[in-house]
Chains A and B, each alone.
Chain A
Amino acid sequence: MLSIEYYLILSALLFTIGVIGVLIRRNAIIIFMCIELMLNAANLAFVAISRSLGQVEGQLFVFFVMAVAAAEVAIGLAIIVSVFKHRETINVDEINSLKG
């Protein structure tokens, strides 16, 4: 059996790629995809720790994370669609009417 550290390191790397994506991309849809990437990295860590502890709870939390991710994507994409109808752009640097 492979040591659990490998999975945690992979999870950390995937999470970091998601963070870098949120920082460097300006397209709102790709920023959403990077958030999905981060949630998935967290899921991987959940399942790895669940395996390591011999408890099934970790896998249950993955389902809750997935439900929240599905809700978040639906709401987020609806916001993107209505912003696009309004402003004709989804570049997050141009959508700045909430800027203080």
Chain B
Amino acid sequence: MTAEHIFFFIFGGVSLIGAISVISFRHPIYSALALIVTFFAQAGLFVLLGAHFVAAVQVIVYAGAIMVLFLFVIMLLNLGTLSLKGALSGKLKGVAILLGILLAIEGIYIAVTTLNNPNTAVASSEVAADTSYSIEEIGELLFKDYLLPFEVTSLILLAALIGVIVLVKRGNQQEN
């Protein structure tokens, strides 16, 4: 049991517990806070995998920007009592959880068998080298080989920006 095992089980356990909390808390605010815990635990897993920059971006973009947006909307709409109504009936919930467990078994089976089968293995189960990538390497690849996808990303963000403004503005006009 190395230190890496211990940290993996700590972060993995925290992220699983956080994820289960997200779907089981009644109030959306608690779900959002549990989701932030999950994102931090996943940032820890990224550090374990040697992806330090991804971990930093995870904390800044996900736990920072996206979750603030979520909390902002939850508080803006003030959904405290509304969210308690209209939960799924017990029978349907059981079916959904059963299907989810089947999906989990399927996913784990695929992950384990494709890695161990030499014909289909895209990646070896053993890790190539104990490497971690610096921001320099990532930036070089991003701005050389992946420049076009990077620029297209800015287009997506622009489209989202315009879309949000149009959506919210139209809602206001209908109200007036």
Enumerate chain B interface residues (CB-CB to A < 8 A): 2, 4-5, 8, 12, 15-16, 19-20, 22-23, 28, 31-32, 35, 38-39, 42, 45-46, 48-51, 53-54, 57-58, 61-62, 65-66, 69-70, 73-74, 76-77, 79, 82-83, 85-88, 92-93, 96-97, 99-101, 103-104, 107-108, 110-112, 115, 122-131, 133, 137-138, 141-142, 146, 149, 153, 156-157, 159-161, 163-164, 167-168, 170-171, 174-175
Count of chain A residues with Cβ under 8 Å from any Cβ of B? Answer: 75
Contact of A33 with B16 in the complex, beta carbons under 8 Å: no
Contact of B46 with A47 in the complex, beta carbons under 8 Å: yes
Counting residue pairs across A and B whose Cβ atoms lie within 8 Å, the total is 245
User: CB < 8 Å: which of B38, B39, B127 contacts A52?
Assistant: B127
Q: How far is the CA of A14 from the CA of B46 in the complex (A)?
A: 15
Residue-wise interface mask of A (22-33) relative to B, using a CB-CB cutoff of 8 A (1 in contact, 0 not):
011111011011
Enumerate chain A interface residues (CB-CB to B < 8 A): 1-21, 23-27, 29-30, 32-34, 36-37, 40, 43-44, 47-54, 56-57, 59-60, 62-64, 66-75, 77-82, 84-86, 89-91, 93-94
